[in-house]
Amino acid sequence: MAVEVRAVAAEDRSQWERLFVAYGVFYETEFDADVLAGVWGWLTDDSHEVSALVAVDDSGQLVGFAHYRRLADTFTAGPGWFLDDLYVDPAARGAGAATALIDAVADHAASHGGGTLRWITAENNHTAQRVYDRVATRATWVTYERKI
């Protein structure tokens, strides 16, 4: 299966939503209609900080997505990039979609000021970590969360 990566488009909503809901299920999170509409609104608003790329298979079906954003990097006084969400449909895994999505985000970052691309994943998401260990350097940072 060949995979093409491109910017998300308005006509992708139903396919993106199916994948985003599955992503939530994977992380034991249920996205209600307001969250789905809100995130979709961000992705289709060129002025919003969150952008999306999608992976499309030979038949034109979306098989994955990457949500990313530019941010200020205080360690370099330059741009940094954060890959918020990356998901590939389980039926399409192993065909290079995740790597293609990460590479496309990195290419976008490189052509928009460079910097460092960072992301996190669950400690027990070993399948994703095998891909990440191939395409990036594992950081030593420990992540904390505080609900506000």
pLDDT tens, residue by residue, 19-74: 999 999 999 999 999 999 999 999 999 999 999 999 999 999 999 999 999 999 99
Residue 141 lies in a domain: no
| pTM, rounded to two decimals | 0.95
- Cα separation, 78 vs 107, whole angstroms: 17
Q: Which domain holds residue 9?
A: 4-135
Beta bridge partners of 6: 54
* Element holding 50 (H helix, E strand): strand 50-56
Q: For residue range 82-104, what is the model confidence (pLDDT) as tens digits?
A: 999 999 999 999 999 999 999 99
Which CATH number does the domain housing residue 52 bear?
3.40.630.30
DSSP, collapsed to helix, strand or coil, labels residue 106 as helix
Residue 147 lies in a domain: no
Residue 130 lies in a domain: yes
Q: How far is CA 130 from the centre of its chain?
A: 16
- Position 1 confidence tier, pLDDT thresholds 50, 70, 90: confident
